[in-house]
Structure 1
Amino acid sequence: MKYEKISPTDNYPYKIFSFHSKSSDRLIPPHWHESLELLFCFSGELEVIFAGQTYHLKAQEFIIINSNHVHSTRSPVLGECLVIQFPLEYLQRITEEQYLKKFLFKAIPDQQNSEVLACLLYIYRNFSSEELVNHLYVKAKIYELLAILCESNTFSSTDMYEIKSFKYLDKMKVVNQYIQDHYTQNLMIEEVAKIFNYNPSYFSRFYKKFMGITFTEYLNSIRLDAAYKEMRDTDKTILEIGLNNGFATNKTFYNVFRNKFGMSPQKFRKQFLKKSN
């Protein structure tokens, strides 16, 4: 997990962009930022993991990730997505200081709202224009979008655990940085708990509740991300890559990799090299 600093897109007070997933194994490891993030799956599919839940977005569906929530994404089916990241200061200003203090946005509405969909499609098709008039229309659609969401897609944030837990973010940044620095070693949860003065059982429960994934799942995501890059960029054997990135045995690497990507490391490498050639 790493903190991501969000910089607004030129001509807008928020960051807005689209991306094409170029391979079905595209994986963005857990991260967080103060900005609220809206993900609109224009085509293909997008898997979003946060707050202990896994959401599967299909074409023309969207999801909202509130400020300071740890999340990760994967593209199981090739496609294109629109991303809008609203700075916390901006959201609080335009909601008259009510966002976060009084309400949060629901991740996914009970029913996909046709008015929201119309706004997102317009934004998707026009945000990259260089014309002033289109910039103004997109900004107007953003206001319309937020008004619709505030009217029909919020819940009270009073006494929410998520709000209280924000104070732990700095602590978790240090814990996860330690994991990132030592993932190649035989890292055990008991060792990490002891280093940061936690009871192992408590630390295990706290980590899962706060991060939305277990200590082992996060550790394996870091190892897999590093292993993926070595498989892509080097000629090392699968055994070497697994051992180099902290997996105790080749079998462990195989099982973790297959569980995440749906195929063996060997098969993945053959398919990737075939695509590359």
Structure 2
Amino acid sequence: MTRILSKQYFDNPDFPFYAGYYVIAPGEAIAEHSHEFTELAYVSEGSGEHSYNHGDYYAIRAGDVFLIEPDMVHAYRVGSAGKLVICNVLFMPSLLKNELITMSSVTPFVDFFYVEPFLRNNARFVSRLSLRTSQQLEIGSILDKLIAEQNIRSLGYQTMIKTSMIQLFISLSRYYQQMGRPKEAFPDEQGLQMIVDFIHRHYAQPLTLEQISHICGMSASVFSSKFKMYTGRTFIEYRNEIRLNIAQEAILDTDDKIATIAQNVGFDDLSFFNKQFKKKTGVTPGQLRKKQTYDFIF
């Protein structure tokens, strides 16, 4: 299976962004593949089928919009009488790091950007964002502007692209909220295991207890009680343990600065990160790295 790398699309590693149209011809199939970046796919014309995370194929048509998260496997196929035109917006989350943090405080954005791709793993979850004609016109206009800014590269084009990306995600979040998707109902154990999987995938994001409990349709208090019974830890304790484990690996395996590692795993307060890290490991991040260097030399 092919894994597409960022360098195949991003000519500037400091601005990891690409947008463009891709035509899938009648009878053509795009084999299962994954990529190390996020992909926003908008079906601008035609119809076909899409498979996500080794799941069954489901029909897609003009106006459908969906996110493909990094390293998730997906594929397309089109019938002999069909044709599919997709506008792909490819980017690394780091491109909009601060903006994503801000937008993550808004539940409709969380639902569209994080929850919908995650729940798409569940075969019973068939809801996705399908735009009405007027909405297609607005989103098409934003996408065309993104592509034009990318291709012409006039003064300030990177700022214009980021601004249009924010406009795109806010508009799509509004449409997703208006769609009024039904809440999924899961048995407690299945729902809690899904949340555990979700936290492992999005540990670095600034998601709140209220947003996490919203995913499985529980109040914050009920979710907190059941989550602690299931895992032995509170949501915050569980998430921070994952963050600290990932940080410890990065300290030992990379030369990244401690402050950079802390931010990458979701800690914006370096002092708090150091305190939590020492509480867990018995040493500070700096002491761990020095000890590793000493052990390597001797």
TM-score, structure 2 length as denominator? Answer: 0.43
Q: Which has the higher contact order (CA 8 A, sep 6+)?
A: 1
Structure ranking higher in helix proportion: 2
TM-score, structure 1 length as denominator? Answer: 0.46
